[in-house]
């Protein structure tokens, strides 16, 4: 009884400033401790993949795991690099990803301006459409989608894969960009126009720089989705020379066996461009997702 | 930028009151929004309109191998037969459907719960921990995020490998049981534990990084003011932080539900493209009915049911989106 009443009144008796400072230091060390544990759990699979990619064959299949890849080998990287269709699959992925990102950004930006700035008739229907699109089980669409692409003669074509990706990426892209556009006061652009700018130059000089982080964030999202997608690329493309990087990667896994070393080496190589891009623009990306949701 | 805006505002108001839009500009203003959404609509409909229509059509037809042959080589096979709601009736009478639905709901609850709790916890930790650690953890989160799904699944499969898996070795060494040569997939409980590891591990970065960004948008001044006014940490959280985070929590939870209810690849690849019936989730059940049993009508009906369940569950999400999405 006594202890509970003491505990209950304690926060009131403490001076706010002092308690904040003490609690701050205490919270920080607790946060650091828990953070380290979670860090290890999250990082271990990645570490293990990279370590495996440097391990010699004999070290990979040991009952007592070898925790560190020493002595290591670059053999898996050489194998992966020289494996058939590595460079062509990279080129195909680059083409698909490049087109997807550019078209997605352009189309999503236009739609985002409309949704954020105007109250046109059918606006709610449009928003509901882009949300519901994301709820359709994608596996159910594989066969009819293939039929559509055949009708357009786009099966087994990179452009067919590109448009498929666009249809699934656009809804999320429109929504992310909407948040950015909505956060920019319209008055700013009007003011520049009064000052003698044309609508276009007002847009380019005032609005565009403010939306740029949002465009970058959306571009990264589209990039990741398109770069990592597997199922549709696997179904739509039949020629090995047209396969994408993830489909190429899956060729390390066959019915008989999995080439762990080669797979991990290939995966590590394919992750490098994304990680570099991500590190460059990570902050914008995170803000982009929440823009409008918290503030608006 | 803001300074420029305030400086110019009075002159803008004066001018705006004097100006009237000519007819052509007014027409452009009405048609404008439609032109702006046109490209996205055209792309989405060109790719998805027919597949979605076909999905609906199939679900009301008897459509099996003979019908598939009929469509590709005319006059051979049999034409599809319109059967009304027979596929749906068959689904609802099937015991397996209810088992699979229940399993999918449980799976979604566990996975969304774990993702949201761990993701939010990491998001909060990121704002509280010391800077070097925060940078390292952010890099790891990004690495995980950037890992292609197929690769992530394969890595976890390797970690849980029966013979050479690190997890079996570690659990045995820690005296948590005899795990030498343990096969994680003989029991569906343990098998789904592996699937959950893959799904949650891959989903945490998105939630954590978004939550961190959302938390940094809660203004410090308000929290400080609350502290000065004598609010405890818990009170400040309940009255200030939580209400501000609520919209983003709703959105993240709904997106997680949408993604986890549709989980397919993880189970399919972990079970070597041949999942046993006790590993069926809704998406796998529908896929197997379509492509292994070749009962495309029933498979389509299952997909539509999945979709309807998701839409009805996400009513809150859609309402939230429409609320924050009002044009300004």
- pLDDT at B264 > cutoff 60: yes
Residue B81 pairs with which residues in a beta bridge? B62
Give the distance from residue A149's alpha carbon to the nearest chain B alpha carbon, in angstroms: 8
Tens digit of each residue's pLDDT (9 = 90 or more) over A71-81: 888 889 998 89
The alpha helices in B165-314, defined as continuous H runs, are 166-173, 188-216, 220-228, 233-236, 242-261, 265-270, 282-291, 296-313
- For chain A, domain boundaries: 2-73, 76-290
Report percent pLDDT > 70 for chain A: 86
Please judge whether A278 and B145 are an interchain contact, meaning their C-beta atoms are less than 8 angstroms apart.
Answer: yes
Classify residue A156 as left (phi > 0), alpha (psi -120 to 50) or beta. Answer: left
Residue with the larger pLDDT of the pair A9 and B294: B294
pLDDT of residue A13: 42
Weakest mean pLDDT among B187-191, B269-273, B300-304 = B269-273
* Per-residue pLDDT, A58: 78
How many residues belong to chain A?
Answer: 296
φ, ψ (nearest 5 deg) of residue A258: -115, 130
Q: Does the beta carbon of B168 lie under 8 angstroms from any beta carbon of chain A? A: no
Query: Contact B159/A190, CB-based, under 8 Å?
Result: no
- Compute the nearest-CA separation of B145 from chain A (Å): 9
Arithmetic mean of pLDDT, A67-94: 89
Task: Give residues 66 to 95 of B whose Cβ lies within 8 Å of A.
Answer: none
- DSSP β-bridge partners for residue B82: B61
Q: Report pLDDT for B87.
A: 92
Is the pLDDT assigned to residue B243 strictly greater than 90?
no
DSSP string of A40-89, one letter each residue: HHHHHHHHHHHHHHHS-HHHHT-SS--SS--S--SHHHHHHHHSTTHHHH
pLDDT at B143: 85
Instruction: Say yes or no to pLDDT of B42 above 70.
Output: yes
Tell me whether residue A149 is exposed, middle or buried, using C-beta atoms within 10 angstroms of its C-beta: 0 to 12, 13 to 18, 19 or more: buried
Q: For residue B318, list chain A residues with Cβ-Cβ distance below 8 A.
A: 128, 131
Backbone dihedral angles phi then psi of residue A253, each to the nearest 5 degrees: -100, 115
Residues of chain B in contact with residue A144, where contact means CB-CB under 8 angstroms, are 50-51, 54-55
Residue A213 to residues A179, A207, B3, B68, Cα–Cα distance (Å): 11, 11, 21, 48
B200 vs B114: CA distance, rounded Å:
7
Residue B241, pLDDT > 70, answer: yes
CB B209 within 8 A of CB A285: yes
Mean pLDDT for chain B overall: 83
Residue-level pLDDT at A296: 36
pLDDT per residue as tens digits for the range B172-201: 888 888 888 888 988 888 999 999 999 999
Residue A3 predicted with pLDDT over 80: no
Is residue A7 very low, low, confident or very high in pLDDT (cuts 50, 70, 90)? very low
- B50: closest CA of chain A, how far (Å): 7
**CA–CA distance, B21 with B31 (Å, rounded to integer):** 15
Confidence class for position A54, pLDDT limits 50, 70, 90? very high
8 A C-beta contact, residue B161 and residue A260: no
- Which of A285, A293, A116 has its CA nearest to residue B243? A293
Instruction: Decide: B323 and B113 in contact? Cβ < 8 Å.
Output: no
CATH topology for A76-290 is MetI-like fold (1.10.3720)
Q: Which of A113, A236, A212, A245 is nearest to A163 (CA)?
A: A236
Query: What are the two backbone dihedrals, phi and then psi, of residue B61, each rounded to the nearest 5 degrees?
Result: -125, 155
B133, with CB counted inside 10 A (0-12, 13-18, 19+), is middle
Residue range B114-135, pLDDT digits in tens: 999 999 999 989 888 888 888 8
Asked if A165 and A229 count as a contact pair (C-beta separation under 8 A), the reply is yes
Could you give the dihedral angle defined by the CA atoms of residues A188, A190, A192 and A195, in that order, rounded to the nearest 10 degrees?
A: -140
Confidence of residue B24 (pLDDT cuts 50, 70, 90): low
Q: Which residues of chain A have a CB within 8 Å of the CB of B282? A: 137
Q: Mean pLDDT across the stretch A37-51?
A: 92
Residue B18's contacts (CB-CB under 8 Å, 6 or more residues apart) are: none
Q: Which sequence spans correspond to the domains of chain B?
A: 31-84, 95-324
pLDDT: is A274 or A108 the higher one? A108
Half-sphere exposure of B66 (CA within 13 A, CB side): 8
Separation of alpha carbons B70 and A67, rounded Å: 57
Over 50: is that where the pLDDT of B142 sits? Answer: yes
CA distance B206 to chain A (A): 9
| Beta-carbon separation of B16 and A263 below 8 A | no
Question: pLDDT-derived band of residue A284, with 50, 70 and 90 as boundaries?
Answer: low
Judged by a CB distance cut-off of 8 A, whether residue B141 touches chain A is: yes
Residue B240 and residue B234: Cα distance in Å, rounded? 10
Q: What is the pLDDT of residue B128?
A: 85
Residue contact A285–B214, C-beta within 8 A: no
Asked if residues B293 and B272 have their Cβ atoms less than 8 Å apart, the reply is no
Residue B15 has pLDDT above 80, yes or no: no
Nearest residue in B to A172, CA atom: B255
What global pTM score does this model have?
0.81
Q: Which residues contact B255 (CB under 8 A, 6 or more apart)?
A: B317
If you average pLDDT over residues A142-153, what whole number do you get? 78
Q: For residue B160, give the chain A residue with the closest CA.
A: A45
* CA pair distance A284, A216, nearest whole angstrom: 7
Question: Measured between CB atoms, does B33 come within 8 Å of chain A?
Answer: yes
Instruction: Give the closest residue to A202 by CA, choosing from B8, B14, B13.
Output: B8
Q: In the prediction, which pLDDT does A194 show?
A: 83
> Do B249 and B269 form a contact (C-beta atoms < 8 A)?
no
3-state secondary structure of B319: helix
C-alpha distances in angstroms, A184 versus A179, A211, A291?
9, 8, 11
CA B125/CA B133 separation, integer angstroms: 10
In this prediction, residue B23 has a pLDDT band, given cuts at 50, 70 and 90, of low
Distance in Å, alpha carbon of A63 to nearest chain B alpha carbon = 6
**Alpha helices of chain A — where are they, by DSSP H?**
2-13, 16-54, 57-60, 75-82, 86-117, 123-132, 142-151, 158-182, 186-194, 199-202, 208-228, 231-236, 245-250, 260-290
pLDDT-above-90 percentage for chain B: 27
Per the prediction, chain A carries an average pLDDT of 80
What pLDDT score does A8 carry?
42
- Coil/strand/helix, residue A253: strand
Residue the block writes with tokens 């008796």: A13
Instruction: Classify the phi-psi angles of B272: left when phi > 0, otherwise alpha if psi is within -120 to 50, otherwise beta.
Output: left
Give the C-alpha separation, B156 to B88, whole Å: 37
Confidence band of A210 (pLDDT split at 50, 70, 90): confident
- Does the pLDDT of residue B261 top 80, yes or no? yes
The answer to whether B44 touches A133, Cβ cutoff 8 Å, is: yes
Q: What is the H or E stretch that residue A10 is in?
A: helix A2-13
Q: What are phi and psi of A119, to 5 degrees?
A: -110, 60
Checking if the pLDDT of B110 tops 60, the result is yes
> Are A31 and B159 a contacting pair at CB < 8 A?
no
- Tokens 């380019």, residue located: A204
Indicate the pLDDT class of residue B139, thresholds 50, 70 and 90.
confident
Count CB pairs under 8 A between chains A and B: 302
- Contact in structure between B154 and A53 (CB atoms under 8 Å): no
Q: Which residues contact B317 (CB under 8 A, 6 or more apart)?
A: A131, B250, B251, B253, B254, B255
Q: Report d(CA A97, CA A149) in Å as an integer.
A: 19
Would you call A246 and B150 a contact, using CB atoms and an 8 Å cutoff?
A: yes
Q: Which residues of B touch A260 (CB under 8 A)?
A: 158
8 A C-beta contact, residue A95 and residue B24: no
From A60-64, B103-107, B117-121, the region with the lowest mean pLDDT: A60-64
8 Å CB contact of B286 and A49: no
Query: What are A253's strand-pairing partners?
Result: A258
- Mutate one of A36, A140, A177, A243 to test the B interface: name it (highest B CB count within 10 A): A140
Q: Do A49 and B151 touch (CB under 8 A)?
A: yes
Q: Would the CB atoms of A103 and B156 count as touching at under 8 Å?
A: no
Tell me the chain B residues in contact with residue A166 when contact means C-beta distances shorter than 8 Å. Answer: 43, 47
Q: Test B248 with A140 for CB contact under 8 angstroms.
A: no
The region of weakest confidence among A18-22, A55-59, A140-144, A252-256 is A18-22
Confidence of residue A19 (pLDDT cuts 50, 70, 90): very low
| CATH class of the domain defined by B95-324 | mainly alpha
Is residue B260 over pLDDT 80? yes
What is the arithmetic mean of pLDDT over A165-173?
A: 90
Confidence band for A4, pLDDT divided at 50, 70 and 90 = very low
Measured at the CA of A282, the angle between CA A276 and CA A287, to 5 degrees, comes to 165
A126: how many CB neighbours lie within 10 A of its CB?
Answer: 19
pLDDT grade, residue A5 (50/70/90)? very low
- State yes or no: pLDDT of B91 exceeds 60: yes
- Sequence-ordered list of residues with C-beta below 8 angstroms from that of B325, at least 6 positions apart, any chain: A115, A127, A178
Question: Range with the lowest mean pLDDT among A54-63, A286-295, B218-227?
Answer: A286-295
Question: Using CB atoms, which residue from A27, A115, A275 is nearest to B327?
Answer: A115
């Amino acid at each position: 009884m006594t202890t509970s009443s003491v505990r209950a009144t304690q926060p009131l008796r403490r001076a706010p400033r002092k308690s904040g400072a003490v609690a701050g230091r205490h919270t920080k060390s607790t946060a650091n401790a828990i953070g380290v544990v979670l860090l290890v759990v999250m990082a271990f699979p990645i570490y293990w993949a990279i370590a495996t990619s440097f391990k010699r064959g004999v070290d990979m299949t040991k009952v007592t795991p070898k925790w560190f890849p020493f002595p290591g080998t670059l053999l898996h990287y050489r194998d992966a690099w020289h494996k058939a269709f590595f460079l062509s699959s990279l080129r195909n992925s680059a083409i698909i990803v490049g087109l997807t990102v550019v078209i997605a950004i352009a189309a999503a930006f236009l739609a985002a301006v409309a949704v954020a700035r105007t109250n046109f008739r059918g606006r709610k229907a449009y928003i509901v459409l882009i949300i519901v699109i994301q709820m359709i089980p994608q596996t159910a669409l594989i066969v009819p989608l293939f039929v559509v692409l055949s009708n357009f003669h786009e099966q087994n074509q990179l452009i067919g894969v590109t448009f498929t990706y666009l249809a699934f990426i656009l809804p999320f892209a429109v929504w992310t960009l909407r948040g950015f556009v909505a956060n920019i006061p319209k008055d700013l652009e009007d003011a520049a126009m009064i000052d003698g700018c044309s609508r276009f130059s007002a847009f380019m000089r005032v609005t565009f720089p403010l939306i740029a982080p949002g465009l970058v964030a959306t571009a990264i999202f589209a990039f990741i989705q398109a770069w990592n997608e597997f199922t549709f690329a696997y179904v739509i493309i039949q020629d090995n020379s047209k396969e994408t990087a993830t489909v190429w990667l899956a060729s390390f896994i066959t019915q008989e066996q999995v080439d762990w070393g080669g797979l991990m080496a290939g995966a590590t190589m394919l992750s490098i461009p994304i990680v570099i891009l991500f590190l460059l623009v990570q902050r914008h990306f995170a803000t982009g997702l929440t823009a409008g949701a918290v503030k608006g | 930028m803001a300074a420029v805006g305030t400086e110019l505002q009075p002159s803008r108001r004066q001018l705006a009151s004097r100006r009237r839009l000519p007819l052509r500009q007014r027409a452009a203003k009405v048609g404008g929004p439609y032109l702006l959404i046109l490209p996205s609509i055209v792309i989405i409909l060109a790719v998805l309109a027919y597949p979605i229509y076909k999905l609906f059509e199939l679900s009301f037809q008897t459509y099996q191998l003979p019908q598939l042959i009929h469509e590709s080589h005319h006059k051979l096979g049999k034409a599809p037969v319109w059967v009304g709601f027979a596929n749906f009736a068959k689904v609802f009478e099937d015991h397996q459907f209810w088992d699979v639905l229940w399993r999918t709901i449980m799976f979604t609850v566990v996975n969304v719960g774990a993702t949201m709790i761990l993701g939010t916890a990491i998001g909060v930790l990121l704002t509280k921990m010391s800077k070097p650690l925060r940078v390292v953890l952010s890099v790891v989160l990004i690495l995980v995020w950037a890992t292609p799904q197929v690769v992530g699944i394969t890595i976890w499969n390797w970690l849980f490998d029966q013979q050479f898996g690190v997890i079996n070795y570690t659990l045995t060494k820690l005296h948590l049981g005899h795990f030498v040569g343990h096969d994680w997939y003989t029991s569906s409980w343990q098998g789904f534990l592996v699937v959950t590891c893959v799904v949650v591990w891959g989903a945490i970065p998105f939630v954590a990084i978004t939550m961190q960004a959302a938390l940094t948008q809660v203004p410090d001044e308000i929290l400080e003011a609350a502290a000065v006014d004598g609010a405890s940490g818990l009170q400040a959280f309940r009255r200030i932080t939580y209400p501000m985070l609520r919209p983003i929590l709703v959105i993240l939870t709904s997106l997680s539900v949408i993604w986890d209810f549709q989980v397919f690849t993880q189970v399919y690849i972990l079970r070597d493209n041949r999942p046993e019936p006790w590993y069926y989730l809704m998406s796998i059940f529908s896929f197997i009915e379509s492509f292994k049993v070749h009962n495309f009508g029933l498979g389509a009906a299952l997909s539509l049911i999945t979709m309807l369940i998701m839409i009805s569950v996400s009513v809150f999400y859609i309402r939230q989106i429409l609320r924050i999405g009002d044009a300004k």
